[in-house]
Amino acid sequence: MRFPRKQSINQSEDFLRIRKTGQAKAGRFVIVSTLADPALPTIRAAFVTSKRAAKKAHDRNRIRRRLRACLQAHSEKFTDPKRFLVTIARPGASEASFADLEADWLNQCKRLKLFP
């Protein structure tokens, strides 16, 4: 399923602002960065998978699909949904199972206090 365009981050200025002023936590398979923005109507997310994370495009696409599924399954639990969320896949994410990837993503979100 495609991620809705209204909920995706596609401006380079937003990525720079999240990187400079936001918070980030790194886990074994993902790095999660976030920045609260009261002007947003809902969460805006981006998923970054470089060739360092997986050499083949098939594997990079699978990682993105799994991360989107994590966000869609748990987005209603966020304490403050008016924020930017960037998830970066790390090397080794392509060998991880969905359960391991989801657990690591949830752990980083909890460390960032996105869940109650």
**What are the helix (H) ranges across 6-96?**
12-21, 57-74
* 46-60 pLDDT per residue, tens: 999 999 999 999 999
For residue 12, what pLDDT band results from cuts at 50, 70 and 90?
confident
pLDDT of residue 3: 67
* 49-100 pLDDT per residue, tens: 999 999 999 999 999 999 999 999 998 898 888 999 999 999 999 999 999 9
Q: pTM for the complete prediction?
A: 0.90
In the chain, what are the domains? Answer: 5-111 (3.30.230.10)
